[in-house]
Structure 1
Amino acid sequence: MLDLLWRGAVIGVGATILMDIWAIVLSRFPGQSAPNWAPVGRWFWHLRHGQVFHDSIGAAEPYAHELTLGWIGHYVVGILYGIIFVVFMGHPWLAHPTFLPAWIWGILTVAGGWFLLQPGLGIGWAASKTPRPNMVRFMNLVAHTFFALGLYGTALLIR
């Protein structure tokens, strides 16, 4: 079991790194912004008081280290997703990784953003309160496809 946990953690980090590389590359294109994990850090900070949902995270009390906390939270979630996936898939998948299960898991993990984080930030269920919700949803699916590629690629590297 310990083997599955450390491999899952490493795979989760690799997947999160690839997703971040995609976000950085994407931010170089016109109309795209760089990732900003400060609002997520503020959201994590307010969770300690049991406040999950906000009308607007921007209106919530700031936290001095929210950007750092946002990055840490982002990687902790990626690690947890990696561990859950590897524990579910087990040693057979680790010995012979395939992309399809990783991609299915990557797409399923979008639910955490759509139904917990985004409403928690005040942008609605599946970004419904944003100016272009369908574009946000599409970009979330693309980002999580890169997360899945990272799961698969890191599993290939460490097998």
Structure 2
Amino acid sequence: MNEQVEFVVRAAAIGTGATAVMDLWGLFLKRAFAIPSLDYAWVGRWIGHFPRGRFAHANIAQAPRIRGETPIGWVAHYAIGIVFAALLMGVWGLDWARHPTLLPALLVGMSTVVAPFFIMQPAFGAGIAASKTPNPNTARLRGLMTHLSFGIGLYVAALLSALLFPV
């Protein structure tokens, strides 16, 4: 397999796996501690308003529903995970995916919290880094832990990818 195809296959596998680890973390928090995770229908709703020229909402939960918002949100969630995996490989190289190490995965995982803090939360009406929520520091800590789980997922998925697709 040529390197471009290998890059795409590994990015898809690693990004999908890492996003699944993050979702499993969220499921654990929900089942063990009754801590809800993000409703990905809101992501789909947000994206669904883009063609109408609407990129920010006072409260995404009260914005008009979009047909197909739940599947749109989940597809976007996994696509974003794949993009972040590709960025990791773009910075550390394809060789990182062939022989993964923990630190780059954790650094990228933690850096991905920038997207919700400075793009999604403000666009959803929650303010920068959840500043308009009832408990901003709790929301921030949850976001950091969720994205740490994504970083761990990047590493675990890369290890599995390296085992399944040896060079």
TM-score by structure 1 length?
Answer: 0.94
Of 134-143 and 80-89, more deviation after overlay is shown by 80-89
Of 86-95 and 65-74, more deviation after overlay is shown by 86-95
The 5 Å alignment of 1:44-55 reads 44-55=47-58
Q: Does 1:153 align with 2:156?
A: yes
Write out the 4+ residue segments of structure 1 that deviate beyond 6 Å after TM superposition.
Answer: none
CA deviations over 1:69-108 (Å, ceiling 9, x no partner): 1111111111111111112211221232111111110111
1:13 aligned to 11, 16, 19, which one? 16
Aligned to 1:79: 82
TM-score by structure 2 length?
Answer: 0.89
Aligned to 1:130: 133
Of 11-20 and 79-88, more deviation after overlay is shown by 79-88
Q: Does 1:119 align with 2:144?
A: no
Amino acid at match of 2:121: Q
Amino acid at match of 1:65: G
Aligned to 1:59: 62
Give 1:49 deviation, angstroms: 2.7
Contact 1:4 1:90 (C-alpha < 8 Å) held by counterparts: no
Contact 1:5 1:87 (C-alpha < 8 Å) held by counterparts: no
Unaligned runs of 5+ in 1: none
Unaligned runs of 5+ in 2: 163-167
1:140 aligned to 136, 139, 143, which one? 143
Amino acid at match of 1:28: R
Amino acid at match of 1:53: A
Contact 1:16 1:78 (C-alpha < 8 Å) held by counterparts: yes
Measured in 1, the distance between the counterparts of 2:53 and 2:6 equals: 34
What's the % identity of the aligned pairs? 40
Measured in 1, the distance between the counterparts of 2:58 and 2:38 equals: 21
* Backbone CA RMSD of aligned residues: 1.3
Contact 1:8 1:87 (C-alpha < 8 Å) held by counterparts: no
Amino acid at match of 1:115: F
Measured in 1, the distance between the counterparts of 2:95 and 2:105 equals: 14
Amino acid at match of 1:73: A
Amino acid at match of 1:89: W
Aligned to 2:109: 106
Give 1:35 deviation, angstroms: 4.1
